[in-house]
Amino acid sequence: MINILANDGISQAGVDNLKAKGFNIITEHVAQVDLINTINTENYEVLLVRSATTVRKDLIDACPHLKIIGRGGVGMDNIDVDYARKKGINVINTPAAASASVAELVFAHLFSMTRFLSDSNRKMPMVGDTDFKALKKSYAKGQELEGQTLGIIGFGRIGQEVAKRAIGLGMNIMAHDTFIEEANITLNFFNGDKKSFTIETESLKNVLSNSDFITVHIPKIDDKAVIGAKEIGMMKTGAGIVNAARGGVIDETALMFALDKEKLAYAGLDVFENEPTPSIHLLMHNAISLTPHIGAATLEAQDRIGTELAEQIATHFDK
């Protein structure tokens, strides 16, 4: 029987699927320092991780019986992918499973930003009973998303899911992508009707300078921020920005400066440069909507991730 360690957990759907296919699946978390010894002692041939566990060269070299390393999600920056593949290990992930969940979180942040929900939820418990009218007045300049322009930086699976929801809200779409020139977006409605749209991508400068809100869905490249002081300078004064992609894609120092100088009105952050210890200055800022890297953290996404990983593992060992 093939032993699988899902070190950062896996949905019950994934567990059930793997067990039904004859695999032995263990979901108890093993500390990083004990991982090599546990893999070798328990003869695990498959290691499944999310973002909490790292799989670097030392582990790959020390665990010669590993056949598969799986990442539940899109990004694999916590795995030395190329090195593992050179060593003959199959590295898998689930790039499409969480796209809808991340896209919906983007709009949670957009609504939180434009209607001051993040700041309001902090202050209401403290002074809502004594300063109700003052709070009401301070949040009186909210914005509607309908009719606003959303700039999407990175127009792959997640970016296109964001576009679908933006279209449904009546927003205008601008998109930038290095590799995609145009994309066909199809909206499926509750009554079975469908409506398709073709969106052509544009230059980064055009998207930044003409959008009321920016959302980024690209990886960090060469440890450099994609959105730094120069790019923020191209944005509209009073615009907002959301990062639910990777920490460091937006230069947090430049972002804080832009918020303090009111170049930008607000930001929404699900990921941070220094996870799991983000800057306290970011966390305390009243113009930033915050979540702790939960883009894929929905029950539906976790079920899709677990099922998709199970199918890929079964396919590998059926060869």
- Cα–Cα distances (Å) from 156 to 70, 95, 96, 215, in that order, read 21, 10, 10, 13
Residue for token pair 């999310």: 50
Q: Is 293 a catalytic residue?
A: yes
Tokens read off for 71: 């990442």
- Give the DSSP H or E segment for 311: helix 299-318
Q: Please give the C-alpha separations between residue 14 and each of 18, 48, 176, 196, 287, in angstroms, as whole numbers.
A: 6, 11, 35, 33, 39
**Maximum Cα–Cα distance across the chain:** 68
Q: Which helix (H) or strand (E) holds 47?
A: strand 44-49
Catalytic residue at 29?
A: no
Q: What Cα–Cα distance (Å) separates residue 206 from each residue in 116, 117, 174, 233?
A: 28, 30, 9, 13
Q: Rounded CA gap, 191 and 9, in Å?
A: 36
Assess whether 316 carries a catalytic annotation: no
The structure tokens 């920005």 sit at: 241
The residue to which tokens 């959008």 are assigned: 211
Which candidate in 109, 157, 217, 246 is catalytic? 246
Residue 141 one-letter amino acid: K
Name the region of 185 (left: φ>0; alpha: ψ -120 to 50; beta: rest): beta
Q: Which of 42, 182, 200, 275 is catalytic?
A: 275
d(CA 281, CA 255) in angstroms, rounded, equals 11
Residue 91 zone, left/alpha/beta (φ > 0; ψ -120 to 50; rest) = beta
Burial 133-169 (b: 16+ CB within 10 A, else e): eebeeeeeeebebeebbbbbbbbbbbbbbbbbbbbee
Active-site residue identified among 71, 109, 165, 293: 293
* Residues involved in catalysis: 246, 275, 293
